[in-house]
Copies of this chain bind each other. A is one copy, B any other.
Amino acid sequence: MTRLTTNNVTGPEFMPQKFLKQERQQSRINIEEVHTFLESTPENAKLVQELIAEVTMDPVLKTCTDYYDLSKEEHRKVTAQKIARMALYMEQDIKRAKRQYRKDVVRDLQLNADSPTLTSRDLSIFDKRLSIVANQDPQLGTRIGVHLGLFGNCIKGNGTDEQIRYWLQERGTLFLKGIYGCFAMTELGHGSNVAQLQTRAEYDPSIDCFTINTPDLTATKWWIGGAAHSATHATVYARLIVQGKDYGVKTFVVPLRDPKNFQLLPGVFVGDIGAKMGRDGIDNGWIQFKNVVIPREFMLSRFTKVVKEGQNVRVLTEPVLDQISGYSALLSGRVNMVMDSFRFGAKFTTIAIRYAVGRQQFASKKGHGSTAEETQLINYPLHQYRVLPHLALVYLVSPAAYKLMNTYHSTLEDLYKISSSGDKSKLKPVSQKLKDLFIDSASLKATNTWLIATVIDELRQACGGHGYSAYNGFGKGYNDWVVQCTWEGDNNILSLTSARSIMKKFTDLSKGVVQTSESFSYLSPQFVGGVLKGTKVAQLATLKDYTDVWGIMLVKMLHFCVTLVSKTKDGDSISKQLVMVSRFHAFYSMLQVYSAKLSADDSGIKDENTRKTLWSLYQLFSLYFIDKHSGEFQQFKVFTPEQISELVQPKLFAIIPEVRKECVALTDAFKLPDAMLNAPIGYYDGDIYNNYYNEVLSNNPMEFEGPGKPNYHATLTTMLSRGFEFEERMSGSQDTQTLSKLGK
């Protein structure tokens, strides 16, 4: 409501609220069941709702539209305040997870050496809180995520049990206390190619210490989140040099700042990387080391150890795990980004769909003057096509994200247990699980971060001019998002590596190696055999077919790639196809996980209409992307041109109106409060124009010198009021009279 609304209306009366009410009245699905389905379990759904309420209500954490007007410096300051606030929730969340309030839990965990080590279960509530604030304020999520997810997991992945306990628990890292960590991996000259990082850690037996050095400019640690202004310690990726021998890149804990007064330690040179496309609240920095000495014990030594016996120095390594674990710190980030894809997608589809329902433009039937009722955007087939498939995508991401998260936690716990137990025999199965996790997380991360970038961009366009206003969230949302396509592994590189591993699995088949993991079920001998023999053909008769077509596509593409490479002997020649293999693998596993969950007895979906609608989203997802990739589908003879025209596309445009019927309920089911959306054109009540107008006004008060009078008005008035006197001053120009005088 605005104070203008008392004006008598002469033109067409827009009633966006009415339209949203209608949609909700006409909905025939159970959004409680849907919400639970999306949030995996009833318990989790309940927890998520509580956490959302807490972070949107908390006066420090809550984020309003004035957020879009903050400068880089303000963003950084506010983010720091939010970090400090989150630190308090951290302790509470651990007690909450342990269901222990009556004991001195945190003190005990930190100071009592016999106290249990923190499990991922203990941290599970704070992890969820973090993933939710990351949706409200991405830069805050990153700034804490770097400390816990990168710094913390680097120690967890590479440290001995004692080192893990010391740095994470005794020193307080996991309580956001004592230590603030950053992750010093990438350098100015090396990002993706970690093995070629150039920072040096030379062991000096005479002092039994390492000396850390930055040999040249390109070895400068670059893009390090938290380095510029926050981090007291860094896990540094550096080449281990012992007695002149280069053992490759290992990890070391290096102190940067005095936690008491935040002064940089000698030999540690740090700078601010400055302005970025987005996430300006993160203090990314660069670091150069000059003869920084750390004790030998600060090298993380779970898999590689430098031992000194008298004059004798030896380097012990466990190659198998060494290489895998080296990157495991990036794993949690990738896994989280799939969850982010769900949460960000949910946010922007909610905004754009509510706007599409409330916004009217152009009269459907020819009307005269201002009398004709205008059509809601959502009722244009093109607009439905532009908006609704993105909703289907968001729904398909959720179950895959939750499954990936669970696999991640279970796999890494097994890994720690086994490598602590020292029982090598159990190692093989775990490292296999870990490798599969690398493939799935890489292809799901790359595919979904790319798709959500497209979602945000296309939905912004679907909101027209108002989508370009900072106050409706798309701008910062996009700028904050797209870095996800680059960090924690560039999407193209990740796609290539995961696709190459998939190709390896494909060729291993002939050697009789059978896949156990569900997401590779299309690599079963029967399936592959059927496809290559031509007995297994694509169709869209059963629901299962909508997943299988992608399996068929994958088998044919892999077969093509393998044949081509064996011919050309040039692995690079197929890189364009490999990127597709990675993407199609992600589609296959998303469809597969979603349908498995929806078909399960414990799906929690009791209402028939609801189930039917959820299947419609599943079909829409598959059909939309088959059509998008109809080039590949036809080229690889999965579908004929006729099938595309007479089967795929008709089904696609038949299912869209089904989803349209429930589009508002399906976004309501995300249960994102306005405070989380932070975009007035997408608020729940649908009062688009008043909400948006009010936010614009409150963020832009009257100018100091009077309404509409800028502080630089003199620049303009001087320009406008300048006369012709300028004429005389112009080069080569002069009043004709004067010239004639001069000419005499």
Contacting residues, chain B, for A87 (C-beta < 8 A): 719, 722
Residue on B nearest A223 in the bound complex, by CB = B465
Residue on B nearest A476 in the bound complex, by CB = B277
Q: Is the CB of A699 within 8 A of B275?
A: yes
Q: Which residues 705-722 of A have a CB within 8 angstroms of B?
A: 706-713, 715-722
Q: Which residues 686-725 of A have a CB within 8 angstroms of B?
A: 689-690, 692-693, 696-697, 699-700, 703, 706-713, 715-722, 724
CB-CB under 8 A for A572 and B273, given A14-B218, A264-B707, A283-B710: no
Q: Does A229 contact B (CB under 8 A)?
A: yes
Q: Does A68 contact B (CB under 8 A)?
A: yes
Q: Is the CB of A179 within 8 A of B487?
A: no
Q: Which residues 250-281 of A have a CB within 8 angstroms of B?
A: 257, 259-264, 269-278
Contacting residues, chain B, for A461 (C-beta < 8 A): 482, 485-486, 490-492
Q: Is the CB of A81 within 8 A of B689?
A: no
Q: Does A369 contact B (CB under 8 A)?
A: yes
Q: Which residues 47-106 of A have a CB within 8 angstroms of B?
A: 68-69, 71-73, 76-77, 80-81, 83-84, 87-88, 91-92, 95, 101-106
Q: Is the CB of A275 within 8 A of B68?
A: yes
Residue on B nearest A462 in the bound complex, by CB = B492
Cβ proximity bits A226-251 to B, threshold 8 Å, 1 near / 0 not: 01111010000001000000101000
Closest chain-B Cβ to A194's Cβ sits at a distance in Å of 10
Q: Does A46 contact B (CB under 8 A)?
A: no
Query: Of B263, B719, B731, which one neighbours A92 at CB under 8 angstroms?
Result: B731
Closest chain-B Cβ to A109's Cβ sits at a distance in Å of 11
- A contact residues, total (Cβ < 8 Å): 179
Cβ proximity bits A627-660 to B, threshold 8 Å, 1 near / 0 not: 1111111111100010011000000010000000
Q: Does A4 contact B (CB under 8 A)?
A: yes
Identify which of A161-169, A374-382, A437-445, A592-600 touches chain B: A374-382
Q: Is the CB of B637 within 8 A of A641?
A: yes
Q: Is the CB of B246 within 8 A of A193?
A: no
Q: Is the CB of B80 within 8 A of A192?
A: no
Q: Is the CB of A374 within 8 A of B709?
A: no
Query: Of B105, B218, B277, which one neighbours A470 at CB under 8 angstroms?
Result: B277
Query: Of B9, B107, B370, B707, which one neighbours A270 at CB under 8 angstroms?
Result: B707
Query: Of B283, B386, B699, B719, which one neighbours A177 at CB under 8 angstroms?
Result: B719
Cβ proximity bits A195-233 to B, threshold 8 Å, 1 near / 0 not: 010101000000000000001111110110001111010
Q: Does A285 contact B (CB under 8 A)?
A: yes
Q: Does A733 contact B (CB under 8 A)?
A: yes
Cβ proximity bits A606-642 to B, threshold 8 Å, 1 near / 0 not: 0000000000000000000001111111111100010
Q: Which residues 165-191 of A have a CB within 8 angstroms of B?
A: 172, 176-180, 186, 188-191
For the complex, give the distance between the alpha carbons of A216 and B9 in Å.
6
CB-based closest 7 A-B pairs:
A277-B475, A630-B631, A275-B470, A229-B710, A11-B198, A382-B575, A634-B634
- What are 18 contact pairs spanning A and B, CB under 8 A? A4-B288, A8-B215, A10-B216, A77-B712, A84-B715, A177-B722, A191-B361, A192-B464, A193-B374, A230-B716, A272-B703, A272-B708, A274-B699, A274-B700, A276-B469, A277-B468, A283-B710, A381-B576
